[in-house]
Chain A
Amino acid sequence: MASSSPKTIIALGLEGSANKLGVGIVKHIYPSGIPADTELVPEVVELANVRDTYNPPAGEGFLPRDVAAHHRSVIIPLLHQAFAEAQITHKDLDCICYTKGPGMGAPLQSVALVARTISQLWGIPLVGVNHCVGHIEMGRAITGAQNPVVLYVSGGNTQVIAYSQQTYRIFGETLDIAIGNCLDRFARVLRLPNDPSPGYNIEQYAKRGSKFIELPYTVKGMDVSFSGILSFIEKLAKTEPEKYTPEDLCYSLQENMFAMLVEITERAMAHIGSNEVLVVGGVGCNVRLQEMMGQMAEERGGKVFATDMRYCIDNGIMIAQAGALAFARGFTTAIDDSWITQRFRTDQVHVEWRT
């Protein structure tokens, strides 16, 4: 049964499923204890959220072994930095949350190893977290969106998600590659720098483009396909560079692919009767995507919620956020079960902290 005395949970979050290593610490306050059968909506206090990004040279993608080496080399300094910023010690922690998946194997493993080690060293329980659910929970906490349709767009994911019966259900998704992957790969074709991110540089080029080049537009129900667009535009860039400027190519690529995303998001909103949309994931930082989503939502009398780079891009506090909610419902991950998995779908998580 619910207690009425105040309860506080302090969670450490470790994220390293791709090329960012993030360490975050969050404090959840339940002024009248943890309610037994209503949705958990604690007061959220951000204590720390630090990150270090591995960037390969322009024209190259990142390799798992290099990313894992990066994570191993920066995780201890980042942990120290996070504790210093939070002004707490490990003794104040209630749980250690780490990304169980999905993501790249070697980087995930390198971070899980550290999580397991400090968990045993300090005697603090582990909580394995689904990366995608981390993005959703952080987005909800930051924006205050109640029951939004979630568009999750990043280097490895393109999903339209809606909550129902303790599950984040996937209504639509990519049939082939993720939108961020498509943008990253096209940035490589144009040899745009990877710093701060290939997608950011495409966005800057797109701002200077003006000529709309017609590209394949592939929407199937609430699903999308990007691989055909990538092949098509790669060919344009390589065979007719004098005809199309990189700026116009980036502009057209964004306009075309983002319109597809907005369309499937709107279809999901119409389908479930929601007027709220929350955009999460690295590509969600893109201001043009947020603007298009905003126009669509406005036409429906609704609202778009988005977060900035601190939370959109992979980070540690989102893992702490989702982990602390699960922990409040009694969920922990035993050492024997503290493995990682490259494939872990959003709809496989039992969302016990919602009703």
Chain B
Amino acid sequence: MENSGTEVLRQGAEARVYKTEVSGNPAIAKQRFSKKYRHPDLDRKLTRGRLNQEARSLKRCLESGIRVPKVIRTDKDTATLYIEFIEGPTLKEWIFDNTDEDKEKELMSAVGKILYQMHSNSIIHGDLTTSNLIVDKQGEIVLIDFGLSQISAMVEDKAVDLYVLERAFISTHPESERLFAAVLQAYESQDPAATAATMRRLEDVRQRGRKRDMTG
């Protein structure tokens, strides 16, 4: 790392996240590492592809007025992405600490809105969880971790994106049903006509799981 005073914030499944400084401003360096278990060709494709895709999607979000960290630069040699540091708890931490139900409803509605904005700009996040949403100092939702993102306007992709978030809520939060319902309601109410197809598909995607004949 080129800057002094870096500290490892988080070691995820495929990247180390450091807190660092770039030109005197606090920044995040996200370095992807190679995985020995996978074929070198596949590893290169995924590491490079995700590094580039993350930067591209972040830029596209910024251009569309969606709150995400600003991209500082991409270092291809070390597979490191430098982005703005956003201070604040993850939504997961926020939910566990919060006791005010009105505030919670407000925040879930903000999540629904930002997801709608993102999808209406054909950005699919690909890894929506309550750990990939930050509540910043102003109490606004900031989306992070676009490594699995893609550009798509397809209803199927949007529905699966929402389904992944729903599953994350269910496996992490005790009152997931109420929370996710508030997110969906806000998402849908942004434009009931435009989101109708996505909502119908979401129901299909859910049924696929439940109806699957799990032989063997």
Contact = CB atoms under 8 A, between A and B. Distances in A.
A171 B164 CA distance: 10
Contacts of B170: 169
Contacts of B209: 173, 175
A176 B213 CA distance: 11
Interface stretch (A1-9, A188-196, A262-270, A331-339): A262-270
Interface in B9-51: 11-14, 35-39, 41-42, 45-46
A22 to B, nearest CB: 12
A220 B208 CA distance: 15
Contact of B171 (A170, A255, A256, A296): A170
Interface in B193-216: 205, 208-216
Nearest to B164: A221
A344 B211 CA distance: 9
Interface in A252-282: 255-256, 259, 262-263, 266-267, 269-271, 281-282
A269 B213 CA distance: 27
A203 interface: no
Contacts of A156: 212-216
B167 interface: yes
B38 A259 contact: yes
A214 B127 CA distance: 23
Contact of B38 (A17, A154, A292): A292
Contact of B216 (A262, A267, A282): A282
**Interface-central residue, A175, A291, A292, by most chain B CB under 10 Å:** A175
A103 B216 contact: yes
A220 B37 contact: no
A295 B216 contact: no
Contact of B37 (A131, A171, A281, A292): A292
Nearest to A225: B160
Contacts of B161: 220
A157 B168 contact: no
Contact of B168 (A131, A219, A221, A291): A221
A132 B214 CA distance: 9
Interface in A123-154: 131-132, 154
A18 B148 CA distance: 35
A314 interface: yes
A321 B14 CA distance: 36
Nearest to B209: A173
21 contacts: A104-B213, A131-B214, A156-B212, A172-B167, A175-B208, A175-B209, A212-B42, A214-B41, A220-B164, A255-B42, A259-B35, A259-B37, A259-B39, A262-B38, A270-B11, A271-B129, A271-B131, A291-B37, A292-B37, A292-B38, A299-B37
